[in-house]
Every structure is written in structure tokens, then in C-alpha cells.
Structure 1
Amino acid sequence: MTPDRAWVIIDNDLSGDPGDLFRTALHLMSPSVAIPLIVGSHLPKGGGVDPSGYHAGNAAGRVQPLLTVMG
């Protein structure tokens, strides 16, 4: 990582709104940021688009294919 890049930690409920994955992809493509960590937040059970109560695990399952495709 070069010093001219801002470090960004993404903290989102990635298993909810599909737009969150698009925003994550945009951050990953940005040459001005380095992303050392992506956190899949947990929401209250029944909240948001994912009513499962397993938001953090589901977020990891959704963001991992994105990271694989983007290298």
C-alpha cells in the first residue's frame, strides 16, 4: 500500500440491501483507498432485508464471491 491511499474499513450489513455489495465493489475499484478489513454487521433479528438473524455469517457468504471475482 502506498501512503497516498486512504485506509477504509467497510462496516455494512452486506446480507441486506443488495446495493451494499455494489458500494463495496466501488470502494474495491477505487485507486485512492486501501481496504484492510470488511466487516459484515449484525442487525436485530427480523430487521432489514435478511430476516434470518445470521447477518454477519450471511454477509461473509455474499461478499466472498465478490472478493473472488474482483481478485
Structure 2
Amino acid sequence: MAIEKIYNAIKRLPPAEREKLRHLLDNEDSNNENTKAFERAAGSWTDFDADGFIEEIYHRRNSAGRTGSEW
């Protein structure tokens, strides 16, 4: 069977190569999930006014009511 051939080929790999293969396979699933989550979130803030948000930040930074950090 093909699976047995693959398994035997993996068994013949040096330990360092098996470890690299394991990491590649582990990260493949993780990256796939991360990519899907990113794609779901991309564009979800279409009604967000970035320029207005930046203006608000600068307005608050320059306001007299802003308190500084006490170290």
C-alpha cells in the first residue's frame, strides 16, 4: 500500500529530517486555520472611518484634559 511505503520512507529518514517534517506538517494545519481566520476578518470593517479615527486620536492628544503618565 502507498501509506505503508510512505511510512517506511519516513522511518528511514534521519531523526533531524523527521523532526523537520513533523514541524512542517504541524504548521501546515495552523497556517491554514490562521489564513482562513484572516480572510474572514479582512474587509469586515468596511464602515470604519480610518481618517476620522486618526483625527480623533490627535484631537485627544492635544486636548487640555489629557493626563500624563506617572513613573
TM over 0.5: same fold?
A: no
Q: TM-score, normalised by structure 2?
A: 0.25
**Structure with the greater relative contact order (CA < 8 A, sep ≥ 6): 1 or 2?**
1
Q: State which structure, 1 or 2, has the greater radius of gyration over its C-alpha atoms.
A: 2
- In terms of fraction of residues, the more strand-rich structure is 1
